[in-house]
Structure 1
């Protein structure tokens, strides 16, 4: 199984200067747990996850004063869409990130969640045990 078989192809983005309430609403409206952050030229410069927003809420910060660029993860790890899922799993384990940008010849075309890969790996392992 390849990355492209399970990656979310819907690419949701916000701008560096978007306020966090807007980003949170975007996530809810688009039913996603992460959004890529673009600079003014449209280049992807970061990633925001729902977990980052949850932490701000838990800290009781005024979200209206926080911009996407303030909390985004600037180092976005990526994997090519035709890579095997096992390679994605190794990358998740070695980096500790929860999401990977999925690329097609260097251009971001989707996102892959650690949870999705983890569930598939568990399912695959369970299926192989029942066949034995």
Structure 2
């Protein structure tokens, strides 16, 4: 990826106020939260208020609905993907590297072991040049 070099951190470009779905909440609760918040992914937090993973609308459709799982009995924690995040003080370049290396479109941002926000493609679009954004999109979607 090209050198971004703005000196900005993950905290500078993230959007704050990310709401978690509880790891023991069922998928219907998660789906309704996504609908109500107009988002396609939610961080999953445990009772200890720590990040446990992330769940996407695609996870619910492909890993639950298509498999005939009961949305009222399957919990968000059961579908939690790998725990990928970035520290709030990490550079934007580091956040981009994490996102591209894991081919993810949304990245939780952690500060002092707590979720403080999320970085999405829309957040990056505000910060990157057209060339940098195109390169990011190509690398993330290349394996999709």
TM-score calculated relative to the size of structure 1 = 0.75
CA contact (8 A) 1:101 1:112 kept: yes
Q: Match for residue 116 of structure 1?
A: 122
Q: Match for residue 25 of structure 2?
A: 18
**Structure 1 runs of 4+ with >6 Å offset:** none
Question: Cα 1:90–1:66, aligned 2, differ >3 Å: closer, same or farther?
Answer: same
Question: Which piece of structure 1 moves more, 99-108 or 18-27?
Answer: 99-108
Q: CA RMSD in A?
A: 2.5
Q: Whole-Å Cα distance in 2 between the matches of residues 105 and 41 of structure 1?
A: 14
Q: Whole-Å Cα distance in 1 between the matches of residues 53 and 43 of structure 2?
A: 6
Among candidates 93, 99, 118, match of residue 100 of structure 2: 93
Instruction: Give per-residue Cα distances to partners, 1:72-117, cap 9 Å, x unaligned.
Output: 11x322222333322211111222233221122443201112x336
Q: Match for residue 129 of structure 1?
A: none
* Helix, strand or coil at the partner of 1:62: coil
Structure with the greater alpha carbon radius of gyration: 1
Q: Match for residue 8 of structure 1?
A: 15
Number of matched residues? 124
Q: 1 or 2, which has the higher helix percentage?
A: 1
Where structure 2 has 5 or more consecutive residues not aligned to the other structure, the ranges are: 1-5, 134-144
CA contact (8 A) 1:18 1:67 kept: yes
Q: Match for residue 74 of structure 2?
A: 66
Q: CA deviation at 1:60?
A: 4.5
TM-score calculated relative to the size of structure 2 = 0.70
Question: Cα 1:62–1:83, aligned 2, differ >3 Å: closer, same or farther?
Answer: same
CA contact (8 A) 2:40 2:57 kept: yes
* Helix, strand or coil at the partner of 2:97: helix
Where structure 1 has 5 or more consecutive residues not aligned to the other structure, the ranges are: 127-132
Instruction: Give per-residue Cα distances to partners, 1:25-74, cap 9 Å, x unaligned.
Output: 0111122222222223333222111221131334443322211111111x
CA contact (8 A) 1:102 1:111 kept: yes
